Amino acid sequence: ITSGKGFTAVSHWLDYASVTTTENFVLCAATAKGQSRLTNAACEPHVQEFCQFLTLMGARLEGVGGSRITVDGVDSLGGVEFTFADDFHEVATFLAMGAITGGEISVRNGSVEQFPLLDRTFAKFGVEVTHENGWSRARVDGPMKVREPFTSNILTKVEAAPWPYVPADLLPIFVALGVRAEGQVMFWNKVYDGALGWSSELGKFGAHAMLCDPHRLITFGGKPLTPATVDSPYIIRVAIALFMLAASIEGESTILNAAPIQRAHPKFVENLNALGADVSWVASD
């Protein structure tokens, strides 16, 4: 709440643990008069990093990383030097690209504490992720194969939801692994309605995937795939997921509308070509 002389404190209970709302709330509360409290706060690593940045600037925060954040307003914030942590989205993405193409790459990773659930998710597709001396590696011993769950009469499942679940932003790269790995996997996006509608593009490669409803998709992996030209929606890791499949298929494929990749990975093509890929941007007409 603003009074014309800055912000005053407020308590708020979110109906959804929104990353952007949490960050904006904390930013405003940092210099508000009084104590503010946010319940059902988002706790993704990048939210925690943003709060650490504000704390170094002089903000007074408690509960960062949990569902309730308390902020005692201060008069002003000061300057600070800050170094960003390695982005777990990018680390996981490149590990997945190495796995799906049968390669073995190393990715610098100073945030291994964020990976236990992601490591277990990779393992569902027969991908072993290891972390050592600040580097992460993904290894596949032979063709990828879906690991049978402990309860054998149910499908292997990957659920995406607010942190500390598997992040919804990373679900597409696991869908790509599901298309390639022999076996069946259910993918469940608990965050966005209709976010799996792009799965129709998988069929252009010859993949077998069934969209159950606006939130759930089942892949029937291990089928023969062929090169194709596919259309990506304006979603970073959907474009990357389609690229991953294209990179695993012999022959030339084209991913249309792939420009969103550059928002998160400005050196995407350069990094891939350095790893031995044959990738290039094609100017649109």
- CATH numbers and ranges of domains, the chain: 11-72 (no CATH), 88-274 (3.65.10.10)
Q: Decide if pLDDT at 3 tops 70.
A: no
Q: What percent of the chain has pLDDT over 70?
A: 98
Which structure tokens are listed for 186?
Answer: 């259910």
Average pLDDT of the chain is 94
Task: Tell me if 14 sits within 8 A of 37, measured CB to CB.
Answer: no
Query: Which helix (H) or strand (E) is 129 found in, with range?
Result: strand 127-132
Which structure tokens are listed for 3?
Answer: 């009074």
Q: How far apart are CA 249 and CA 255, in angstroms?
A: 13
SS3 236: helix
Residue 277's pLDDT is 86
pLDDT in tens, 233-284: 999 999 999 999 999 999 999 999 999 998 888 889 998 898 888 898 887 6
Q: Decide if pLDDT at 1 tops 60.
A: no
Q: Decide if pLDDT at 61 tops 90.
A: yes
Q: How far apart are CA 140 and CA 99, in angstroms?
A: 6
C-alpha triplet 256, 96, 150: angle, nearest 5°: 125
Q: How far apart are CA 205 and CA 226, in angstroms?
A: 5
Give the type of residue at 47.
Answer: V
Residue 264's pLDDT is 85
Residue 24's pLDDT is 97
pLDDT in tens, 148-205: 888 888 999 999 999 999 999 999 999 999 999 999 999 999 999 999 999 999 999 9
Q: How far apart are CA 56 and CA 59, in angstroms?
A: 7
